[in-house]
Amino acid sequence: MLVAKKLLFEETDPALAANFVEAGFGFKTDTSVLFHPLEAAYLVKLGKTSYKKKPVSSKNFAFASSVYTQIRSTGRIVRPYMKETNFFRVYDPGVGREEKRPSQLVCLLPGAVPSAKSLSEQIKIAHLARLDLIIACGTEKEIKYYKVASFNF
């Protein structure tokens, strides 16, 4: 069962938590394994665990959850940042997070197609991280993905 710990969740069953970590979920701490609310929601949706208390969702949680679920369902490891849900790190198919670094940065921009200024900012972030940039926009029911590249001659 997932128990809320500030903005994250902790799995109370250590064996189950270890299985989740092996499958690419969670963040290890010295004493436990913590899960981002998106990971917790995904695991509950699959019926792998349950909540003691449901997470408080932000206005973009439904969109972020849909993107997370869609990418994760392709067999890729998806890692949200601990406190932010604006970006996901995505690993190549068949690669675990302990084996290699992520290959893509998925930027969540719910709503219409992003502006040129917004794209420029996201490209800089992906370039600094040395990752391919994927923009996810639209609604949770109709997600559109755009791969964006920047290069110099």
The predicted structure's pLDDT at residue 68: 94
Q: Looking at the structure, tell me whether residues 13 and 65 fall in a common domain.
A: no
In a domain, 28, yes or no: yes
Q: Looking at the structure, tell me whether residues 30 and 65 fall in a common domain.
A: no
Which residue type occupies 39?
Answer: E
In a domain, 153, yes or no: no
Indicate if the pLDDT at residue 148 is higher than 80.
Answer: yes
Mean pLDDT across the stretch 127-138? 91
Q: Looking at the structure, tell me whether residues 113 and 69 fall in a common domain.
A: yes
* Range name among 16-20, 52-56, 90-94 with the lowest pLDDT average: 52-56
Rounded to an integer, what distance in angstroms lies between the CA atom of residue 133 and that of residue 136? 10
Residue of 32, 30, 80 whose CA lies nearest to 55: 80
Mean pLDDT across the stretch 110-120? 82
Look up the domain containing 29 and give its range. Answer: 2-45
Q: Looking at the structure, tell me whether residues 33 and 78 fall in a common domain.
A: no
Dihedral over alpha carbons 130, 36, 63, 45 (to 10 degrees): 130
Q: Please state, rounded to an integer, the average pLDDT across all residues of the chain.
A: 84
Total count of domains within the chain: 2
